[in-house]
Chains A and B, each alone.
Chain A
Amino acid sequence: MEIDSATNGNSDAVMTESTATITPSPVVVPSSRSNQFTESLKLEHQLLRVPFEHYKKTIRTNHRSFEKEVSTIVNGVGELADSDWSKDVTVSRLTSLVTRLQGLKRKLEEGSNVENLQAQRCRARIDHLDSVDVENITEWNNTKLKRILVDYMLRMSYFETATKLSESSNILDLVDIDIFREAKKVIDALKNREVASALAWCADNKTRLKKSKSKFEFQLRLQEFIELVRVDTADSYQKAIQYARKHLASWGATHMNELQHVLATLAFKSTTECLKYKVLFEPQQWNILVDQFKQEFCKLYGMTMEPLLNIYLQAGLSALKTPYGFEEGCTKEDPLSQENFRKLALPLPFSKQHHSKLVCYISKELMDTENPPQVLPNGYVYSTKALKEMAEKNGGTITCPRTGLVCNYTELVKAYIS
Chain B
Amino acid sequence: MELKNVKDAFDRVAKKQKLCYSKTQEVVDRLSQEINKALDTIHEDNHESVVADLKKTFEEISPINQLEASQKEVNGALTKYPKALDKTLNPDISTAYRNIEFDRHTVHQIIAQFFYRQGMYEIGDSFVSEIGEPELVESSVTKAFMEMNMILEAMGKRDLGPALKWVASNSEKIKEAKSDLELKLHSLHFLEIAKDKNSKEAINYARKHFAAYSDSCLPEIQKLMCSLLWNRNLVKSPYSDFLSPVLWTNAAKELTRQYCKLLGESSESPLSVTVAAGSQVLPTFLKYLTVMPEKRQEWQTMKQLLVPVELSEEYRFYSVFVCPVSKEHSSEDNPPMRLGCGHVLCKQSINRMSRNGSRSFKCPYCPTDIDASQCKQLYF
A residues with CB within 8 A of B: 3, 7, 10-11, 14-15, 18-19, 22-23, 25-27, 29-31, 33, 36, 38-46, 48-49, 52, 55-56, 59, 63, 66-67, 70-71, 73-74, 77-78, 80-81, 84, 87, 90-91, 94-95, 97-98, 101-102, 104-105, 108, 112, 115, 119, 122-123, 126, 129-130, 141-142, 144-145, 148-149, 152-153, 156, 158, 160-161, 164-165, 168, 302, 304-306, 308-320, 322, 324-325, 330-335, 337-338, 340-341, 343-344, 347-359, 361, 366, 373, 375, 378-381, 402, 413-418
* Chain A residue contacts of B270, Cβ below 8 A: 335, 338, 341
Contact A352 B308, beta carbon cutoff 8 Å: yes
Contact A325 B327, beta carbon cutoff 8 Å: no
Smallest distance from the beta carbon of B211 to chain A beta carbons, Å?
Answer: 27
| 6 further A-B pairs in the complex, CB-CB below 8 A; given A11-B364, A27-B307, A357-B320 | A119-B14, A119-B17, A314-B102, A359-B319, A378-B379, A414-B342
Q: Is B213 an interface position by the 8 A CB rule? A: no
Assembly CA distance A33 to B276 (angstroms): 13
Q: Is B42 an interface position by the 8 A CB rule? A: yes
* Chain B residue contacts of A156, Cβ below 8 A: 131
Closest chain A residue to B98, Cβ basis: A314
Contact A160 B130, beta carbon cutoff 8 Å: yes
Within 8 A of A (CB), among B266-300: 266-268, 270-285, 287-288, 291-292
Contact A319 B280, beta carbon cutoff 8 Å: yes
Q: Is B243 an interface position by the 8 A CB rule? A: no
Closest chain B residue to A358, Cβ basis: B319
Closest chain A residue to B376, Cβ basis: A379
CB within 8 Å: A-B pair count: 420
Closest chain A residue to B322, Cβ basis: A356
Assembly CA distance A320 to B279 (angstroms): 12
Assembly CA distance A81 to B57 (angstroms): 12
Closest chain A residue to B122, Cβ basis: A164
Instruction: Please report whether the interface of chain A is mostly helix, strand, loop or mixed according to DSSP.
Output: helix
Cross-chain pairs A/B with CB under 8 angstroms, 17 sampled: A33-B312, A42-B88, A45-B91, A48-B89, A70-B64, A91-B47, A105-B25, A158-B131, A311-B96, A313-B274, A315-B279, A316-B279, A324-B317, A332-B266, A349-B305, A353-B310, A359-B319
* Chain B residue contacts of A304, Cβ below 8 A: 92-94
Assembly CA distance A350 to B120 (angstroms): 33
Contact A101 B364, beta carbon cutoff 8 Å: no
* Chain B residue contacts of A414, Cβ below 8 A: 342
Q: Is B63 an interface position by the 8 A CB rule? A: yes
* Chain B residue contacts of A348, Cβ below 8 A: 98, 100
B residues with CB within 8 A of A: 1, 3, 6-7, 10, 13-14, 17, 20-21, 24-25, 27-29, 31-32, 35-36, 38-39, 42, 47-48, 51-52, 54-55, 58, 63-64, 67-68, 71, 74, 78, 81-82, 85-86, 88-94, 96-98, 100, 102-103, 106-107, 109-111, 113-114, 120, 122-123, 126-127, 130-131, 260, 264-268, 270-285, 287-288, 291-292, 302-313, 315-322, 324-329, 338, 341-344, 349, 352-353, 364-366, 376-380
Query: Which of the listed residues B100, B273, B275 has the most CB atoms from chain A within 10 Å of its own CB?
Result: B275
Assembly CA distance A95 to B43 (angstroms): 13
* Chain B residue contacts of A102, Cβ below 8 A: 32
Assembly CA distance A405 to B89 (angstroms): 57
Instruction: Please report whether the interface of chain B is mostly helix, strand, loop or mixed according to DSSP.
Output: helix
Contact A23 B378, beta carbon cutoff 8 Å: no
Contact B325 A18, beta carbon cutoff 8 Å: yes
Closest chain B residue to A142, Cβ basis: B272
Contact A70 B304, beta carbon cutoff 8 Å: no
Given contacts A36-B280, A332-B266, are A313 and B102 in contact (CB under 8 A)? yes
Given contacts A26-B291, A315-B96, are A126 and B32 in contact (CB under 8 A)? no
Picked from B68, B283, B321, the residue with its CB within 8 Å of the CB of A42 is B283
Closest chain B residue to A83, Cβ basis: B51
